[in-house]
Amino acid sequence: MANRRYSGRTGCPYQKRIRSYCIWTGYETGIPASAERYQDPYLYSNGESKTYKGKFGPDVFRDFIIDFILENEEEPLFIYYPMVLTHTPLVGTADESADENLGKHTAMVRYADKIIGEIMVLERETVDRKRCREPILF
């Protein structure tokens, strides 16, 4: 979830406080695809639920955050990123796979580190280039 300005209102976050969001809602009764958050994830983004065929869920979230930073680089930002990695079910990532759960979990942790690193590098470059705002805190 990402927000340009925190409004201070109470209630459901993606209806009152958050202006732009991409979330996995968890399983939705009657929609089997909604159980997926890794391969071909079913995500709810800015009022629309859909399956991202051929995509890895954590990459969709990363791309959403990067696009948000670039689109709003002139303004103060708040990004809330409750990562779906490294939660069960344990899976291989876009970078590596494993047969055992420990190996899968290790791959997920490495991928989480990679994604956060990519976001933080972009944020640092944006702040350095624009000198228009303070860095984002995650």
Specify if 109 maps to a domain: yes
Specify if 138 maps to a domain: no
Specify if 115 maps to a domain: yes
Specify if 64 maps to a domain: yes
Q: What is the pLDDT of residues 16-56, one digit of tens each?
A: 566 789 999 999 999 999 999 999 999 999 989 999 999 99
Specify if 136 maps to a domain: no
Burial class (CB in 10 A: 0-12, 13-18, 19+), 70: exposed
Q: Which domain holds residue 21?
A: 2-130
Q: What is the pLDDT of residues 61-108, one digit of tens each?
A: 999 999 998 888 777 778 888 899 989 999 999 999 999 999 999 999
CA distance 105 to 50: 27
Tally of domains within the chain: 1
Which distant-in-sequence residues (6+ apart) come within 8 Å of 120 by Cβ?
A: 138
Burial class (CB in 10 A: 0-12, 13-18, 19+), 112: middle
CA distance 4 to 77: 5
